[in-house]
Amino acid sequence: MLTQEEIYQKVREVLVDALAVDEEEVKPEATLVGDLGAESIDFLDIVFKLEKTFNIKIPRGELFPEDILTNPEYVKDGKFTEAGLAELRKRMPFAELDQFARNPLVQDFANLLTVRDMCRFVELKLQQQEGQASA
């Protein structure tokens, strides 16, 4: 199993490569969309590169559970409901949601993920994979 530092370095390389940003810009707290300028198509590239780098499988909707956005139980008047936030916490255990939950506007959802979240996402995937392999 890779250490957190090793995961961070590799995630950084992926983001530098996919987003054509400088290594110094890729800080743990940087948001992918707002700070690093990721566009929707870049997430496809990032997912492909993470899969290859870490030898993991990332099904659609795992990094960004977009289906939640179209569910009226989870989103009302452009805001996530309590049930929606609970679902986000369940589906995105890797993401830091506390600050977002204070004013959970759908328009801010796309800019939620940080470099740190991406590292945690990879870490959880690797743990899952290891769990499956030893089960």
Using CB under 8 A, list all residues that contact another protein. 17-18, 20, 41-42, 44-45, 47-49, 51-52, 59-60
Length of the chain: 135
Tell me the closest approach of the beta carbon of residue 83 to another protein, in angstroms.
25
Tell me the closest approach of the beta carbon of residue 128 to another protein, in angstroms.
18
Kindly calculate the radius of gyration of the chain based on its CA atoms and give it in whole angstroms. Answer: 15
Residue closer to another protein (CB basis): 38 or 75: 38
HSE-up (13 A, CA, CB side) for residue 25: 16
Residue closer to another protein (CB basis): 30 or 58: 58
Using a 10 angstrom Cβ sphere, with 0-12 exposed, 13-18 middle and 19 or more buried, the burial of residue 15 is: buried
Tell me the closest approach of the beta carbon of residue 39 to another protein, in angstroms.
9
Residue closer to another protein (CB basis): 104 or 121: 121
Q: Which ranges constitute the DSSP H helices of 20-105? A: 40-54, 82-91, 98-102
Residue closer to another protein (CB basis): 41 or 133: 41
